[in-house]
C-alpha cells in the first residue's frame, strides 16, 4: 500500500547524494533528507510487516527495512564523525 511512497523517497536519496558529491548542496542538507527518508521507510516497514496478512507483506516490509538501513547508515556516520 505505501510501498510506492517508500520507493519514491528512496529513489530521491541517490539523486540528492549525487548533488552533494558534486558540491551543489551542503553536508547538513543531505543528512536531513536521508534521516527523513529513513524515518518514513522505518515507519512504513513496521506498519507493513506487523500488519501483514500474508507472506508477501512480510517480504515487502523486510525489503523496506533494508532500504531504511541503507538510507540511515550514511547520515548516521556523518553525524557520528562530524561531516554533517
Q: How many Å apart are CA 59 and CA 36, to the nearest integer?
A: 23
Of 60, 20, 23, which Cα lies nearest the Cα of 41? 60
pLDDT tens-digit readout, 12-54: 888 887 887 788 888 778 788 888 888 888 888 888 878 878 8
pLDDT tens-digit readout, 59-76: 888 888 887 777 777 777
Q: Which pLDDT does position 1 carry in this prediction? A: 62
Name the grid cell of 2. Answer: 505505501
For residue 84, pLDDT over 60 is answered with no
Q: Which pLDDT does position 83 carry in this prediction? A: 57
For residue 82, pLDDT over 60 is answered with yes
**41 CB burial (10 A radius; 0-12, 13-18, 19+):** buried
Which percentage of the chain shows pLDDT scores above 70?
A: 94
Amino acid at each position: 500500500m505505501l510501498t510506492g511512497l517508500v520507493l519514491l523517497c528512496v529513489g530521491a536519496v541517490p539523486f540528492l547524494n549525487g548533488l552533494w558529491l558534486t558540491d551543489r548542496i551542503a553536508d547538513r542538507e543531505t543528512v536531513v533528507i536521508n534521516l527523513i527518508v529513513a524515518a518514513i521507510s522505518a515507519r512504513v516497514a513496521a506498519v507493513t510487516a506487523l500488519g501483514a496478512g500474508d507472506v508477501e507483506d512480510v517480504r515487502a516490509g523486510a525489503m523496506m527495512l533494508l532500504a531504511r538501513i541503507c538510507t540511515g547508515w550514511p547520515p548516521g556516520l556523518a553525524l557520528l564523525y562530524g561531516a554533517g
